[in-house]
Structure 1
Amino acid sequence: MPWLQLKIETGKADAERIEEILESVGAGAVMLEDAADQPLFEPPLGTTPLWDATRVVALFTPDSEMDAILEYVAAELGQPLPPHRVEILEDQVWERAWMDHYHPMCFGDRLWVVPSWTPPPRPDAINLLLDPGLAFGTGTHATTALCMEWLDKLDLQGKTVIDYGCGSGILAVAALLLGARQAWCVDIDPQALQATRDNAERNGVADRLTTYFPDDMPHVEADVVVANILAGPLAELAPVLAQLTTKNGDLAVSGIITTQVEDLQKAYSPWFSLDTLQTKEENWCRLSGKRHADR
């Protein structure tokens, strides 16, 4: 069955109100999209940020009276309807369409992330089987890619690893496949910890991986620590990650942008020399270095 797709170009002041009105008149689904490619890097806790230019997209059944719907939305807003258009959206097998957009990805020289429905492009490589799910981390985001490339370059044979803010567990599982002996994974989200355990099971490394909430994490020290979060939490976690990293151990932090690098280096300087900077699209960065041997 085809759908009628209504797109309304508006601002963040009216977007949520328009969303509510469209839901009240029977929209099958309503989505809010960025209409001007504006990144939202680190919103304050408890907020739901919207873009300055927001596109509200609603789907209606083909028998919907679109003229009446548009008239009703304008009346409820108390103002003329913002720029908008109505399109016919042909039906398709949405699961198949989604799968067609997610392909195997290579990180560094050895490591591939491969969805379950695709044969590995290089069967002799280190292939991490991973499907998109509820938890963050499939390799498609620049910060995850930066951390994966860093792990690929390390000699992880026999090392212990902590993935702090593990999301899907992609970094910990990758480290184990690359030769690490043991991985401890930490996250505040129970869905992330479950996704991490599921992905470890799928890749045959569940016996070497353990998950924890932050408050339950025992005092351990790892040879390699990686944290792909955001600049604010990373700054607060500096003393925690220092305690978890062995002397001369390796640390990588990501989820930051270029303007936040100097502050992060200062926050970690009592314990680490974070002097290797790598960047990807949209100014996303990864800082890495070693724990001081004498502090």
Structure 2
Amino acid sequence: MLHEFSLLATKQMAEPLSDFLMEHGAYSVSIEDADADTDQEKPIFGEPGTELDDFAWDRSLLKVLCPDDFNIKAVVELSAQELGIETPTIENVVEVPNNDWVRITQAQFTPTRIAGDLWIVPSWHEPPNPDAVNIRLDPGVAFGTGTHPTTRLCLEWLHDHSLSGKSVLDYGCGSGILAVAAKKLGASEVLGTDIDPQAIEAANYNAEVNQADAHFYLPEQMPEGKFDVVVANILSNPLRILAPALLGRVKSGGHLVLSGILERQADELIEVYRSYRPDSPLSVWKSMDGWICLAGQIA
């Protein structure tokens, strides 16, 4: 049996106390806003590009997962002595059963039909239809398992447009799911790029598992060239900044597909791209759960 202790910590205590607990045998420590769902709740994570004055909560709640023989009282008292802080308050303790968390987590991810015969199938499941376009994918560190509306919108666009013989660039590839889908849907050449080396590693792995001839690069290694389709599932602020770069990667007559955009951000982003290429307007292709996909043919 495991135990999860809840400790109340000040802004200054939270990080060093978390490190101390892990060094002394805690399995994991998560930090939450102790004032969540109250008038004192404080946002510290914003969309990229937003400015925040502080990146710590005034009061934090540390959720500490420990083995059964972990002496939490002794450890917090020792932390006060060694860190020179007030002894943390133990707010709560709950027992956590030793479940098979891998099996429980896997049960949350089942085969998902995206559109037509396009499916996302976790590796621990058999494809419902072996003859369909099945993308085998495991949840990992890189964003993009096909379940989020922004990813689904891009996948649906790729499915609904003929890619036969076309080149595709997946900009901000994450897990590589869009690149893999493009290749399995008939694209002749598929490249992807991401700033995160772990994403490149995950994308290469997923391409190999799916026997998809797609290649992934860090930005500084990305080859020159233009593509018939450029798809970018990022967030609105990076998409604003990247507008010239993305437009510059699309062949004349090619398509630009953007997602990671909230409905309220659509008009602004359309105007940003129009300011660079007035003759190549984007428009809302489809929306889902408050998110939208912009697409347009570049003159």
Same fold (TM over 0.5): yes
Match of 1:140 in 2: 147
Q: Which moved more, 1:56-65 or 1:31-40?
A: 31-40
Which letter does structure 1 place at the counterpart of 2:64?
A: A
Counterpart for residue 125 of structure 2 = 118
**AA of the residue aligned to 1:279:** S
- Which amino acid in the other structure matches residue 30 of structure 1? V
**AA paired with 1:219?**
E
Following the alignment from structure 1 to structure 2, what is the Cα–Cα distance between the partners of residues 254 and 107? Answer: 16
Compute the TM-score of the two structures, normalised by the length of structure 1.
0.83
The offset of 1:234, in angstroms, is 1.3
Contact 2:20–2:79 (Cα < 8 Å) also in 1: yes
Query: Which residue of structure 2 lines up, in the alignment, with residue 212 of structure 1?
Result: 217
Shift of 1:22: 3.3
Once the 2 structures are TM-superposed, how far is the Cα of residue 70 of structure 1 from its aligned partner?
5.9
What residue is the counterpart of 1:265 in the other structure?
Answer: 270
Query: Are the aligned partners of 2:173 and 2:199 in contact in 1 as well (CA < 8 Å)?
Result: yes
Query: Deviation per CA, 1:42-87, whole angstroms, max 9, x where unpaired?
Result: 24599995678865321112123344456667896538738x3211
Deviations 1:174-203 (A, max 9, x none): 011111111011112222222222211111
Change (3 A) 1:285 1:40: farther
Q: 1:186 aligns with which of 190, 193, 200?
A: 193
Label 1:101 to 1:8 Cα distance change in 2 as closer, same or farther (>3 A): farther
Once residues 132 and 11 of structure 2 are traced to their aligned partners in structure 1, the CA distance between those partners, rounded to angstroms, is: 46
1:35-46 to structure 2, matched below 5 A, reads 40-44=45-49
2:250 to 227, 245, 258: 245
1:104 aligns to what?
Answer: 111
Separation in structure 2 between the aligned mates of residue 13 and residue 257 of structure 1, nearest angstrom: 35
Q: Deviation string for 1:100-130 (max 9, x for gaps)? A: 1211112122211101110112223210011
Per the TM alignment, residue 166 of structure 1 is displaced from its structure 2 partner at its CA by: 0.7
CA shift in 2, pair 1:64/1:201, >3 Å: closer
Tell me which amino acid in the other structure corresponds to 1:56: L
Of the three residues 174, 177, 185, the one matched with 1:170 is: 177
- Cross-structure match for 1:203: 210
**51-60 or 35-44, larger mean C-alpha shift:** 35-44
- Distance (whole Å) between structure 2 residues aligned to residue 24 and residue 73 of structure 1: 11
C-alpha root-mean-square deviation of aligned residues, in Å?
Answer: 3.1
Match of 2:18 in 1: 19
Q: Does 1:275 align with 2:283?
A: yes
- Bigger shift: 156-165 or 191-200? 191-200
CA distance in 2, matches of 1:284, 1:58: 35
Runs (5+) with no aligned partner, structure 1? none
Residues 80/134 of structure 1: CA separation in 2 closer, same or farther (3 Å cut):
closer
Amino acid at match of 2:109: Y
Aligned counterpart, 1:30? 29
Q: Quick check: 1:160–1:224 contact (8 Å CA) kept in 2?
A: yes
Question: Does the 8 Å CA contact 2:113/2:120 hold for their aligned counterparts?
Answer: yes
CA shift at 1:286, angstroms? 2.2
Q: Say which is worse superposed, 27-36 or 8-17, in terms of deviation.
A: 8-17
The share of aligned pairs that are identical, in percent, is: 40
Number of residue-to-residue matches in the alignment: 287
Aligned to 2:237: 232
For 2:118 and 2:55, locate their aligned partners in 1 and report how far apart those are by CA, in whole Å.
35
Instruction: Please state whether the residue corresponding to 2:126 is helix, strand or coil.
Output: coil
Q: State how far apart, in whole Å, the 2-side matches of 1:116 and 1:219 are.
A: 34
Structure 2: 5+ residue runs without aligned partners?
none
- Local SS of the residue matching 1:124: coil
Q: 1:276 to 1:51 in 2, by over 3 A?
A: farther
Q: Distance in 1 between matches of 2:11 and 2:266?
A: 29
TM-fit CA distance, 1:13: 6.8
Separation in 2, partners of 1:122, 1:200: 20
Question: Which secondary structure state, in structure 1, belongs to the residue aligned with residue 116 of structure 2?
Answer: coil
C-alpha contact (below 8 Å) 2:164/2:188 kept by paired residues: yes
Return the alpha-carbon distance in structure 2 between the equivalents of residues 77 and 46 of structure 1: 30
Contact 2:76 2:88 in 1 (8 A): no
User: SS of the counterpart of 1:98?
Assistant: helix
